Amino acid sequence: MRLLCVPAASIFITTAAMAQGSPAFLPASPTTVAWGYYWSKAKPVLTVHSGDTVRIQTLSTCGPNDRLENEGVAAKDIPSYNAAIYEQVKDKGPGGHILTGPVAIAEAEPGEVLEVDIEKIDIDVPFACNGFSVGRGFLPNDFPYGRRKIIPLDREKMLAHFAPGIDIPLRPFFGSMGVAPPDSAGRYDSAPPWMHAGNMDNKELVAGTTLFIPACARCTV
């Protein structure tokens, strides 16, 4: 079974036979995201078939509109769906990632393998965010304080302007992509990867690559 994905905030995913027709579109909204968890009992927000191509809109965890604006992001550059999700989604945790889905694959059966072909990744905002907090991050014992940074993006040249004289080439990938964990896992934290894949943070999962995951009936990115 094969699912074709294209995330960005947009990911195209394709599922086994060649996809036909226009791709389905799954927007990010208060009713289509799972905030902080992978869960076998989460209700699917879209059902597709093996071989289908899906365009999935995703949202960063950079924060609500007022925080972004206070940190220097122009209001016009904040996605229109950002405010509604931060204001209306109350069912959260135990993790902090905002995931779009789940997507049910009609033909999926336990014991099969899900093939996810990442066709394209579009970036739909001209900024990114980076940060760390006390006791967390890459060097958790070196800094007794937290810090956040908004990083301007040049989407035409595919560069991140990290600091004066420091430009970083953009090679977008999706940090978290997975299927529902076993029922016994309950509502599984979105932070640690596991047998369901999840928050792998694998920088090689760029457009043009394929991910294979033990199959379940749902997929979330």
Q: Structure tokens of 125?
A: 């905002």
Specify whether the CB–CB gap between 11 and 58 falls below 8 A.
Answer: yes
What is the C-alpha to C-alpha distance for residues 221 and 42, in angstroms, rounded to an integer?
A: 14
What is the C-alpha to C-alpha distance for residues 43 and 17, in angstroms, rounded to an integer?
A: 26
Q: What is the DSSP letter of 188?
A: E
Amino acid identity for residue 155 in this structure: R
Cα-trace Rg, the chain: 17
What are 11-61's pLDDT values in tens digits? 445 544 444 567 899 999 999 999 999 999 999 999 999 999 999 999 989
Mean pLDDT of the chain: 88
In the block, tokens 């033909």 appear at 107
What are 136-185's pLDDT values in tens digits? 878 888 999 999 999 999 999 999 999 999 999 999 998 999 999 999 99
Which phi and psi (to 5°) does residue 88 adopt?
Answer: -100, -25
pTM of the model: 0.87
